DNA sequence: CCGAATCCGAGCGGATACTG
DNA sequence: CAGTATCCGCTCGGATTCGG
């Protein structure tokens, strides 16, 4: 099990920062959160600030259905459920990194364009 | 001005075929439509089957605001307006192609996973 | 601790009609 | 031709509550 996730790893990443999206609103962030190893439900809930259990469950179920991750439930008290990327899910990191590289290179241009457009109105 | 766009260039491209999305629902397709050169409003409306003028206008305005394309209106009767990618907009093709390559490689796995999940319920 | 169930507001995107 | 104006359904995502 890898080191704890930084609870602030997504602060300062508003939607405008990722013009390239993977699937729905949360899929990409979940993939990132699982990049360094399997994680528990609560860990994901913590790092994905503000996500409700319902939405997190929905997102995880959809990704499980698409073969992007696996769900492993241990029959213990208290219960423990662990999510882990499949090879398919991990392969998403490649196009995601391409998107991140684009953002690093060009996001400031996009922000500037938006600013100067705002100024012209 | 390049050759006419194939009206069917997006048929057979349901949302499931593009797990990687650029911005909103239409941005990526508009970028593709403008890849080979500037296009008129009606041309875009034709290839983007089913898009209403309102939504197309909104999408184009948003992309213009973000510096992804330029809008050029000629003062003629009948009116003529031409949209063209900026360098910034064209640079989006790079991460988009990365996404397409991912889809070509792995989409069948995703479809299979979805099928076998359906079978297990 | 890990969800399921229920309810709900907001906004995206669309249908339709109309205009310079 | 290239939009604008108006109306609206529907889905996304969240709040809250409850259960095993």
Domain span at residue B37 reads 27-120
For chain A, the average pLDDT equals: 89
Nearest to B22 among A19, A67, A117 (CB): A19
List the B70 CA – D15 C1' distance (angstroms).
42
* pLDDT, tens digit, 9 for 90 and up, residues B71-91: 999 999 899 999 999 999 999
Judge whether B15 lies within some domain: no
Best mutation target, B17, B106, B111, B119, to test chain A (most A CBs within 10 A): B106
Confidence of residue A18 (pLDDT cuts 50, 70, 90): confident
Question: Is B66 within a domain?
Answer: yes
CA of A73 vs chain B CAs: smallest distance (Å): 17
Please give the backbone phi and psi of residue A75, each rounded to the nearest 5 degrees, phi first: -85, 75
Task: State the 10-residue block means of pLDDT for chain B, 121 residues long.
Answer: 74 74 90 94 90 94 95 94 97 94 92 89 73
Q: How many domains does chain B have?
A: 1
* Per-residue tokens: B12: 């057979």
Answer whether residue B113 is part of any domain.
Answer: yes
Beta carbons within 10 angstroms of residue A7's beta carbon: 11
Q: What is the mean pLDDT of chain B?
A: 90
Q: Is this model's pTM higher than 0.85 or not? A: yes
Predicted pLDDT of residue B71: 97
Within 10 Å of residue B69's Cβ, how many Cβ atoms?
Answer: 22
Would A86 be classed as within a structural domain?
A: yes
Q: State pLDDT tens for residues A46-100.
A: 888 878 999 999 999 999 999 999 999 999 888 999 999 999 999 999 999 999 9
Q: Return the exposure string of A23-58: e unless at least 16 CB atoms fall within 10 Å of the residue's CB, then b.
A: beebbbbbbbbbbeeebebebbbebbeebeeeebee
Which CATH number belongs to the domain containing residue A52 in this structure? 1.10.10.10
Query: Of all residues in chain A, what percent carry a pLDDT higher than 70?
Result: 93
Q: Are B117 and A65 in contact (CB under 8 A)?
A: yes
Q: Nearest residue of A to residue B98 by CA position? A: A95
- Do the domain assignments include residue A19? no
Neighbours of B51 (CB within 10 A): 18
Is the per-residue pLDDT at A40 higher than 60? yes
Residues of A with CB under 8 A from a CB of B: 19-23, 27, 64-68, 88, 91-92, 94-95, 98-99, 101-102, 105-106, 109-110, 112-114, 117
Instruction: Provide the shortest C-alpha distance from residue B14 to chain A (in Å).
Output: 13
Under the phi-then-psi rule, with left for phi > 0, alpha for psi from -120 to 50, and beta for the rest, what region is A109?
A: alpha
Tell me whether residue B21 is in a domain.
Answer: no
Best CA proximity match to A103, nearest among B22, B63, B18, B59: B22
Residue B114 within any structural domain of the chain: yes
Would A14 be classed as within a structural domain?
no
Q: Reply yes or no on whether the pLDDT at A42 is more than 80.
A: yes
What pLDDT was estimated at residue B94?
A: 95
């Amino acid at each position: 099990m890898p080191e704890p996730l930084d609870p602030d790893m997504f602060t300062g990443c508003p939607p405008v920062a990722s013009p390239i999206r993977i699937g729905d609103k949360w899929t990409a962030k979940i993939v990132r959160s699982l990049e360094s190893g399997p994680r528990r439900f609560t860990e994901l809930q913590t790092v994905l600030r503000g996500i409700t259990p319902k939405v997190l469950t929905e997102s995880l179920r959809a990704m499980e259905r698409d073969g992007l991750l696996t769900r492993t439930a241990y029959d213990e008290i208290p219960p423990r459920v662990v999510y882990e990327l499949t090879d398919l899910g991990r392969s998403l990191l490649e196009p995601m990194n391409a998107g991140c590289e684009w953002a690093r290179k060009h996001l400031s241009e996009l922000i500037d364009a938006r600013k100067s457009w705002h100024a012209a109105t």
